């Protein structure tokens, strides 16, 4: 964990935050989260910001710890699919976290957005998978991070629909000398997303994040949240419903019909296999590296299937395979301008 000295440069004076949010005005309020209220603000120095103001009574004594963990991890680990912490304020009894404002908000609010296309959804999933892969594998040769609260409300979307993982307050850093592949820790996270293997026995592995990510994949495919209390049957829990329809090969019954029409059959098969495998027993779940590779394939299949058209009795295929790169993930728009080559086929 960095010391106060290490993060001093991230301190933002309370008056600056107050000015940016019009004194935490009602009009600037975005949402109430587990940490406290979230406000939008405009700062001279940072531009559009999102401000999280800790409310102690909401945090059951965990507030200080989560506040410090968030600062420690986000000040150190940077990635295009991880939210940017601009600074913090620890002044006059206030504990505040300041982030870059992500204009499309969190993914949970867009699950049933009819304008969010299948290809955009795939790209969002790949972004999140790349962020998690970075946390699991790339954050230094010896360490890795268990996020422990992967869920659609912790995935933020910028103006280009690029996805960023947020909320590291519950995260744990794997100790450098850790011999076993698991860590014993008191289960935490959000109901509906917690890996049952971890929830029941407290053995935390990176595969617990894979499970939660699998839940998000089903949410993205089915356009709804994992738990819907308005139902009294198996529809209440998406993971139960998804497994039933996956095994019966009747996923079309739980995917919104307009979205279903857009999805290429093979891309759906690939995507649903990944989502299903993420929910399997811990030993059978894929790693995030494998998930990233398989999602890239699902995108590839979908893109290639869409890149053909008929004209004057010919079918034209747009060959994009060699022209886009998945080394860095980004939005479809970034890649489409690279589509140059058109092959004609009788
Ligand atoms: N950087 C940001 N830019 C834009 N909106 C944000 C940002 N951070 C948070 N929000 C919005 O504020 C909401 C509340 O966030 P918060 O993380 O406090 O709670 P939550 O994710 O709903 O629940 P939990 O506290 O369990 O994580 C988010 O769902 C999102 O809509
Ligand atoms: Mg959150």
* Per-residue pLDDT, 141: 55
* Main-chain phi, psi angles of 321, to 5 degrees: -60, -40
| pLDDT mean over 148-171 | 94
What mean pLDDT is predicted for residues 146-168?
95
pLDDT in tens, 235-271: 999 999 999 999 999 999 999 999 999 999 999 999 9
* DSSP secondary structure, 187-237, as one string: --S-TTTS-HHHHHH-EE-HHHHHHHHHHHHHHHHHTS-SB-TT-SSGGGB
> In sequence order, what are the residues at sequence separation of 6 or more whose Cβ sits closer than 8 angstroms to the Cβ of residue 118?
259, 262, 263, 267, 302
The CATH architecture that domain 107-302 belongs to is Orthogonal Bundle (1.10)
Nearest to 138 by CA among 297, 306, 287, 340: 287
Task: Please tell me the predicted confidence (pLDDT) of residue 195.
Answer: 93
Q: Measured between alpha carbons, how far is 136 from 129 in angstroms, rounded to an integer?
A: 10
Residue 84 has pLDDT above 60, yes or no: yes
188 lines ligand 1 (CB under 6 A): no
Best-predicted range by mean pLDDT (107-121, 189-203, 306-320): 107-121
The predicted model scores a pTM of 0.87
Residue 90 CB–ligand 1 contact under 6 Å: no
Superfamily of domain 4-100: Phosphorylase Kinase; domain 1 (3.30.200.20)
Closest among 159, 143, 175, 136 to 290, alpha carbons compared: 136
Percent of the chain with pLDDT over 70: 80
Mean pLDDT of 264-283: 96
Which pLDDT score is estimated for 177? 60
Q: Which residue has the higher pLDDT, 195 or 307?
A: 195
Which has the minimum average pLDDT: 61-65, 86-90, 296-300? 61-65
What is the distance between the alpha carbons of residues 124 and 256, in angstroms, rounded to a whole number? 18
Give me the mean pLDDT over the 287-311 stretch. 84
Q: State the average pLDDT over residues 125-153.
A: 88
Which helix H or strand E contains 295, and what residues bound it? Answer: helix 288-306
- Range with lowest mean pLDDT among 38-52, 118-132, 137-151, 310-324: 310-324
Dihedral angle sign, alpha carbons of residues 24, 25, 28, 33: positive
Encoding tokens for residue 122?
Answer: 């795939």
Asked if residues 190 and 163 have their Cβ atoms less than 8 Å apart, the reply is no
Determine the 3-state secondary structure of 333 from DSSP: helix
Average pLDDT over residues 190-203: 87
Give, using CA atoms, the residue closest to atom 20 of ligand 1.
Answer: 33
* Higher per-residue pLDDT: 323 or 102: 102
Q: What value does the mean pLDDT take over residues 51-61?
A: 75
**1-15, 93-107, 185-199, 315-329: which range is least confident on average?**
315-329
Output the CA 133–ligand 1 centroid distance in Å.
22
Residues of the chain with CATH 1.10.510.10: 107-302
- Weakest-pLDDT range from 20-34, 143-157, 318-332: 318-332
How much distance in Å is there from the Cα of 280 to the middle of ligand 2?
A: 25
Nearest to 132 by CA among 203, 221, 207: 207
Higher pLDDT, 310 or 327: 310
The Cα–Cα gap between 21 and 29 comes to 9
- Catalytic residue IDs: 149
For the Cβ of 101 lying below 6 angstroms from any atom of ligand 1, the answer is yes
Ligand 1 and 1: CB distance under 6 A: no
Rounded percentage of the chain residues whose pLDDT exceeds 90: 64
Neighbours of ion ligand 2 (CB under 5 A): 154, 167
- Top-confidence residue, 184 or 280: 280
Two tokens, residue 128: 């999140």
- Ligand 1 centroid–CA 308 distance in Å is 40
| Separation in Å, CA 162 to CA 44, 57, 158 | 25, 34, 5
In the chain, residues under CATH classification 3.30.200.20 are 4-100
- Asked if the model's pLDDT at residue 59 lies above 80, the reply is no
Q: How far is CA 106 from the centre of its chain?
A: 9
Question: How far is ligand 1, taken at its centre, from the CA of residue 81, in Å?
Answer: 16
C-beta of 102 in contact with ligand 1 (< 6 A)? yes
Is the model's pLDDT at 315 over the cut of 60?
no
């Amino acid at each position: 964990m960095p010391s106060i000295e290490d993060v001093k440069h991230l301190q933002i004076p309370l008056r600056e935050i107050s000015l940016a949010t019009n004194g935490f005005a009602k009009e600037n309020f975005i949402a109430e989260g587990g940490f406290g209220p979230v406000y939008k603000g405009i700062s001279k120095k940072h531009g559009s910001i999102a401000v999280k103001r800790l409310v102690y009574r909401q945090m059951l004594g965990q507030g200080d710890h989560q506040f410090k963990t968030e600062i420690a991890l986000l000040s150190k680990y940077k990635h295009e699919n991880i939210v940017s912490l601009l600074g913090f304020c620890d002044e006059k009894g206030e504990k505040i976290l300041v982030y870059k404002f992500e204009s499309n908000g969190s993914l949970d609010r867009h699950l049933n957005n009819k304008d969010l296309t299948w290809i955009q959804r795939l790209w969002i999933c790949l972004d999140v998978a790349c962020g998690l892969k970075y946390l699991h594998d790339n954050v230094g040769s010896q360490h890795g991070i268990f996020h422990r609260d992967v869920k659609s409300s912790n995935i933020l979307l910028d103006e280009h629909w690029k996805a960023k993982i947020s909320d590291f307050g519950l995260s744990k850093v794997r100790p450098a000398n850790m011999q076993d592949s698991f860590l014993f820790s008191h289960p935490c996270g959000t109901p509906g997303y917690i890996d049952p293997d971890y929830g029941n026995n407290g053995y935390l592995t990176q595969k617990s994040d894979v499970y939660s990510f699998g839940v998000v994949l089903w949410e993205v495919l089915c356009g709804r949240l994992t738990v819907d209390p308005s139902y009294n049957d198996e529809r209440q829990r998406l993971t139960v419903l998804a497994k039933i329809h996956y095994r019966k090969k009747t996923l079309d019954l739980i995917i919104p019909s307009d979205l279903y029409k857009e999805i290429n059959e093979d891309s759906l098969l690939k995507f649903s296999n990944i989502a299903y495998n993420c929910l399997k027993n811990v030993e059978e779940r894929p790693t995030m590296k494998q998930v990233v590779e398989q999602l890239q394939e699902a995108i590839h299949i979908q893109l290639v299937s869409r890149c053909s058209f008929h004209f004057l009795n010919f079918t034209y295929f747009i060959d994009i395979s060699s022209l886009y790169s998945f080394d860095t993930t980004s939005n479809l728009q970034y890649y489409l301008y690279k589509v140059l080559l058109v092959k004609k086929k009788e």
